[in-house]
């Protein structure tokens, strides 16, 4: 369980807005360095922290990472984002940045909608894995 006390719904909405407004374009300070989805936004607990003071397990995105991928260097890049089980790692191998971002936007929209539905359902009636 993540130790991040931010509201997961608000963080996912922020990340979606960040993506929709071109947040992962090249940095002005380091245009030669590619950007990394999740890591290069305020969603990441270590954003702007060169010492990476927080363990990834503290992040609320960690709850979306399958058990078998939680020891990866960047666990959030192993979140299954579609029915085929693609992750940012697998998308990086066959897609360009724009296609990867579109896939993440779809995952974010679907996850936000699911969480909003779950929050509006009376306690005890939420369906698992919906």
Averaged pLDDT, 103-121: 95
Q: What is the pLDDT of residues 9-53, one digit of tens each?
A: 999 999 999 999 887 776 667 777 777 889 888 889 988 888 889
- Residues 75-110 as b/e (b if ≥16 CB within 10 A, e otherwise) read bbbbbebeeeebbbebbeeeeeeeebbebbeebbee
CB 120 within 8 A of CB 130: no
Residues 6+ apart with CB under 8 A from 61: 2, 11, 38, 43, 75, 76, 79
Distance of CA 127 to the CA centre of its chain: 22
pLDDT category at 2 given cuts 50, 70, 90 is low
Residue 127: inside a domain = no
Tell me which residue range forms the domain holding 16: 8-120
Averaged pLDDT, 76-101: 87
Residue 58: inside a domain = yes
Q: Is 130 a residue whose pLDDT tops 50? A: no
Residue 126: inside a domain = no
pTM value?
0.81
> How many domains does the structure of the chain reveal?
1
CB 1 within 8 A of CB 8: no
């Amino acid at each position: 369980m993540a130790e991040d006390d931010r509201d997961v719904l608000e963080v996912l909405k922020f990340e979606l807005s960040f993506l929709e407004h071109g947040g992962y374009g090249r940095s002005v300070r380091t245009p030669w360095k590619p950007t990394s989805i999740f890591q290069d936004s305020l969603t990441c607990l270590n954003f702007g922290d060169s010492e990476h003071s927080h363990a990834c397990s503290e992040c609320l995105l960690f709850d979306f990472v399958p058990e078998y991928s939680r020891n990866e260097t960047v666990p959030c890049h192993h979140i299954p984002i579609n029915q085929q089980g693609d992750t940012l790692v697998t998308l990086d191998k066959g897609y360009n940045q724009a296609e990867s971002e579109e896939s993440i936007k779809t995952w974010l929209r679907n996850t936000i909608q699911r969480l909003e539905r779950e929050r509006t359902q009376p306690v005890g009636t939420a369906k698992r894995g919906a």
